[in-house]
Amino acid sequence: MQLTRKTMLKMMIPMLIDQLFITFLPMVNTIVVSKLGQNSLSGVSIIDQVNMMVGYIVIAIAFGAMVVVAQCTGKGDTEGVYRAVKQSYTSSLYIAVGLSAFMVIFSAPVVGLALRGADPDMQAIADALAELICKNTFIHNCSRKTIIKIDSQLVRRATA
């Protein structure tokens, strides 16, 4: 059996939903925090940029994996497709969890470096938000292991 468009769509839906949440989070943060004042808005904006950087790293891994998946699909190497998808998910998961854990542990020094010379209130707000977002991101990324299992099973069924 071959990978069909229907199977690929089933694998893409969880990733698309995940990317929608990643994309809309900074916008929602800005809307909610805009009522709290300039320091709060500045702190949230800085932390959203760091958060988006982590997202872009994960997206870059996915784009690299797409090339490998396309090559394996072209060769008819279904086992290679399975390995590439699994490796892409696993790599992005480990990198995202590692960066999230790093930020949970070292959020104060990183925020202090990013906001060097800024108002202490803004630094305190940014530090609290960074720790909160990174803890939530850490939990979210750990839950992505379920998505990896589901997509891996879909690829296995499609290539069996």
Annotate 14-48 with three-state secondary structure. HHHHHHHHHHHHHHHHHHHHHHHCHHHHHHHHHHH
The residue that leads in pLDDT, 87 or 7, is 87
> What is the rounded average pLDDT of the residues 68-77?
83
Q: What is the pLDDT of residue 110?
A: 78
Domain around 79: 5-159
Look at the chain and report how many structural domains it folds into.
1
> What is the rounded average pLDDT of the residues 111-130?
78
**Cα–Cα dist 141/100, whole Å:** 9
Q: What is the pLDDT of residue 1?
A: 47
